[in-house]
Each structure stands twice: as structure tokens, then as C-alpha cells.
Amino acid sequence: MTLDQDLDTLTSPILSDGTAVSKLIDLDRHEVSMRVLSDPEVYDIELKQLFARAWQIVAHESEIPRVNDYVTRYIGEDPVVVVRDRTNKVNVLLNVCTHRGMKVCRGDAGNDKQFKCPYHGWTFDPTGRFLGSPMAQESMHGAYRAKDELGLPRARVETYAGFVFATWDPQAPSLDDWLGDIKWYQDLMFDRTDDGLEVLGPPQRFVIPTNWKAPGEQHAGDGYHAMTLHRSLTELAAAERDDGSMYGIDVSANGHGLRCIDQREPNWTILKDSGDDWKSKAPLEKLKLMPPPGLTPEMVPQLQRRFNEDQLRVLADFPPSVGGLFPNVGTFSFDFPTPEGMSAVICWHAFVPKGPEKIEFFNWFLVERSAPEEVRTLMRRASTLSFGISGFVETDDADTWPQMTAASRGVMGRQGTMKYGALIGEKPSFDGYWDGEWPGGGHVYPGFTKDDNQWQWWLRWRDFMVGRPW
């Protein structure tokens, strides 16, 4: 055992049966105790140690375009109001009245200059400031606190690619530092044009009986499951070969992860039928013939203004396509065939905990603001066909995660472990993949997708749980 591991054991929370949380992950064998998927004590520690501190996605700016627009969401299990104030600033307010704890806003979305608690009428503005209560002459806010002490708690807020992130922790790093090296790749997926992305309507919301870590860990970069669980993709002839998306470059940074799919020879049958000599083309030529997901050929020149040559080459030959942001976000940007022709899917997921064995699944579909109507229509069809509450890809996952969670409750099941022993390890040489030094940062794992990204996700989870997130 290393000195760091000894210190982790000393600072780790201890469960009622005497187990240190740090011991739930076997660092030598690369295994994780199944009990983490249902143990209520572990869950309570997560709410305090992780969800109260990590940056959490709560909305997209295009959901609240006007002054006083709001949506209601969650940070962990804390309800919040995401609202645009009169200065056009986006605020994230705790949706809990400072009088007796009732929600001050019960709508899912709307536009309001004030939030009035339905219980006793205490009223707050979109910055969280306490405005007053009925019977002002009776000073019903009390004699022990000044009015400026009674406002709604306000989270720190920063945005990336239009998405609104929030954290309660004043010591948390900036959002840029939180994203770290993964931002280089996420930019290629979601920050590609001058006008940026907007949502295709409000997010889908549905409940799944699973622990949040089952989808959270998978979206760090588990590509291997697609060969079996998403076999239907191949059976529907969407992909050229079974292992077409199994090879590429996996990247992990700060617990975030994604997969850069090897696209030097397109996997989609519809593209191979063109007969073009794909390998010999320059990156920009490829991007004009096969624009990144959701872009039209007319938008491609914008990429030259935003990205350097290395980024354009990665975007053409190894486009980052699927992944997730620690701890509970999934991100997607990839081409997808439909009966009407090749389209694309751009979406973000959030797996919001609702107890140790339940999540509320938020699913945003997105499109470039400047995309023509026919592109929007086709992307909406491709998205709902594949992802979300009715998507055939998502329903595969939504059947798996609850069964893992249920298995962890059994006497024998909770003694089992999840195995992460198939590791590539970081490779300094990219023989057969990339000539020269790989331009992106992070932990880089080229080849057949294995367990590296998911293991890095669990190590990040462990850091939070033992009290050293930063």
C-alpha cells in the first residue's frame, strides 16, 4: 500500500459496518465493489462530497432566451431555478423558501419577474433577493435576521458551448479548469460555428430505476458494450462491420472521457458506396465531403477560422463522437443514417440522482442555430429514432442499468465486484494511427477500446469520496 493510500484510509468516511469508502475500490486488482450501486450510506456521502462540490449541468442558455425566463432543475437532490435576470445574467437559485422550506417555484418552465412561495407568500426576485412577505407592517420576516440575509442561496454559474453549469462549492476550480484537456475535444463536437448550438425544444425527462453511477461510468467511454448490447445497429446495417467503432483513440481527463472513432475509412455503408479515394484526401476536403455531424457544407469554412490544422485533421480522421463529463453527463455528436438519408445526432444527457436506486434522465437534442429547416427536421427524426425515451439505442441501456443496480442488493451480489482489468495503458507511440505527436491532451489510449477511461472515472469518484477533489 502506498503512502497516499494509507492517508486515504485515514481520511475516508467509514460506513456503519466498518468499511472505509476508500476500500470499495481495489486499486491493485482494478475492481469496484458492487455495493456502491445501491448502498444508501454511500449515496448520502456522494450527495455531500461529490454533488455539492462538482460542476453540474443544469440547462442550456437557449432554453431561457429572454429576461425573466426560467426552468427548474436539480443539483444532486437540491431543486434549483435557472433564471435569466434583467441584466441578462443567468442565475441558479436554490428552489427552497428561506422561511419554511417550500419550493418557491413549482413550474417546469416559464417567465416571471418574481418567485412567490405558495405557503406563506414570501417573495424573491430572479437574483434570489428577498423582496418581502405579506403584511409588511407586521414584519413577518421576523426580528432576528435582516431582509438581505433571507435571500435564496445562489450557486456559482459558468457556461460552456451554451450549457449552464453550476456548483455550490466556492473552492471549486473554474469551469475551464474543471473541463481541463477534454475541452480541446469537446470544442470539436459542440463549439464549431459562429452562432453555436441551440436546443430542439425542452429536454426529455424520464425516470429509470438505476443508480446514477451505472450510466455515469459507461459514458466515460465504454465502447466495448456496443458490440453486444447495441447489436441492433449492425443488424440494421447502419454500420459496415461489427468492430467498426471499436478501434480509435480513447481520451480521459479529470474523470471526463470520450472516444475518437477511427474514421480514416468511413464505417457507414452509405459513405463507402461513394467510391471516393477517402484516404488520399486532405482533412478539409474530407470535411467538405462529409461535414461534421449537424453541419452543412456551407458551414465548413467556419471550421478553418476556429481550429488549427491538427484539430481539423483529428476532426476528419478521428472525430470525437461519444463520451461524458464527470460525474453524470453523456455527450454525443455523430452521423446517423435515416430512411430519408444520412443525418446526425447531437445530444447531451444528465443522470440526476433521485435516491440510491433511481435517476431522472434529462436528454437534450441540439442543432446548429444557423442550420436550415430541412437539417433540423432530419436531425430531430434521427435523434428520436436512436436516443431518448423512444430511441432504440437508449432502451438497450435503460434495461441494463436497473438490472445491475438490482443485482447489487443481493447478499451474494453486493459481495461481487465490477472488473476493469482490460487496460491498454497510455502509449507514447501511435504506430498505424497517427504520424508524429498526438495533438490533443489528456490520458490517451489508442487501439481497441478497453477499460482505461472507465477506470479513470472511478479513480476520480474515489478522490471526491475521500475528500480530495481538487
Q: How confident is the model over 128-152, as pLDDT tens digits? A: 999 999 988 888 788 789 899 999 9
Q: Cα dist. 135→138, 142, 143, 420 in Å?
A: 5, 12, 14, 62
Share of the chain above pLDDT 70, in %: 93
Q: Is the pLDDT of residue 116 over 70?
A: yes
The confidence score (pLDDT) of residue 376 equals: 96
Q: For residue 315, what pLDDT is reported?
A: 96
- Residue 298: helix, strand or coil by DSSP? helix
Average pLDDT over residues 324-328: 98
For residue 379, give the CATH number of its domain.
3.90.380.10
For residue 409, tell me if it sits in a domain.
yes
Higher pLDDT, 295 or 395: 295
Q: What is the pLDDT of residue 388?
A: 86
Q: What pLDDT digit, counting tens, does each position of 13-39 carry?
A: 999 999 999 999 999 999 999 999 999
Residues 260 and 149 in one domain: no
Least confident of 64-68, 89-93, 279-283, 415-419: 279-283
Give residue 277's pLDDT: 75
- Across all residues in the chain, what is the average pLDDT? 92
Name the 3-class secondary structure at 251. Answer: strand
Helix, strand and coil content of the chain, in percent to the nearest 5, comes to: 30, 25, 45
State whether 244 and 277 are in the same domain. Answer: yes
**Who's near 385: CB < 8 A, 6+ residues apart?**
336, 338, 391, 392
pTM of the model: 0.94
Residues 203 and 261 in one domain: yes
pLDDT at res. 280: 82
Q: What's the confidence (pLDDT) of residue 346?
A: 98
Structural domains of the chain, count: 2
Same-domain status, 200 and 155: no
The DSSP code sequence of 82-114 is EEE-TTS-EEEEE-S-TTT---S---SEEE-S-
Residues 211, 117 share a domain: no
- Domain stops at, among 136, 168, 200: 168
pLDDT at 339 over 70: yes
Residue 22 lies in a domain: no
Q: Which of 42-51, 328-337, 382-391 has the highest mean pLDDT?
A: 42-51
Residue 1 placed within a domain: no
Query: Is residue 33 included in any domain, yes or no?
Result: no
**Three cell numbers, residue 169:** 462549492
Q: Are residues 162 and 184 in the same domain?
A: no
Write the CB contacts of 3 (distance below 8 Å, at least 6 apart in sequence): none
Looking at residue 426, its pLDDT comes to 86
Distance CA 423, CA 224 (A): 12
Burial letters for 238-248: b for 16+ Cβ neighbours within 10 Å, e otherwise?
bbbeeebbbbb
Distance of CA 68 to the CA centre of its chain: 26
Per-residue confidence at 244, pLDDT binned at 50, 70, 90? low
Mean pLDDT along residues 112-136: 95
* Distance of alpha carbon 81 from alpha carbon 119, whole angstroms: 18
Q: What pLDDT does 9 receive?
A: 73
Cell 444528465 belongs to 350
Query: Which pLDDT does position 269 carry in this prediction?
Result: 53
**Chain length of the chain:** 470
Q: In terms of domains, do 229 and 142 share one?
A: no
Q: Is the peptide bond before 327 cis (omega within 30 degrees of 0)?
A: yes
Task: Judge whether 18 lies within some domain.
Answer: no
In the 3-class helix/strand/coil scheme, how is 455-468 assigned residue by residue? HHHHHHHHHHHCCC
Looking at the domain assignment, is residue 40 inside a domain? no
Local confidence band at 272 (pLDDT 50, 70, 90 cut-offs): low
Does residue 254 share a domain with residue 106? no
Give whole-number Cα distances, 155 to 32, 166, 254, in Å.
32, 6, 22
**What is the span of the domain harbouring residue 89?**
57-168
Which has more pLDDT, 137 or 242? 137
Whether pLDDT at 7 is above 90: no
Q: Does residue 25 sit within a domain?
A: no
**With 60 as the cut, is the pLDDT of residue 159 above it?**
yes
* 225 plus 200 within the same structural domain: yes
Domain boundary among 137, 168, 199: 168
- The stretch 241-249 carries a mean pLDDT of 72
Confidence of residue 263 (pLDDT cuts 50, 70, 90): confident
Whether residue 273 is predicted with pLDDT greater than 80 in this model: the reply is: no
Same domain? For 208 and 239 the reply is: yes
Residues 305 and 346 in one domain: yes
Domain contains 93:
yes
C-beta neighbour count of 354 within 10 angstroms: 16
Residues 313 and 194 placed together within one structural domain of the fold: yes
User: The domain that contains 119 carries what CATH number?
Assistant: 2.102.10.10
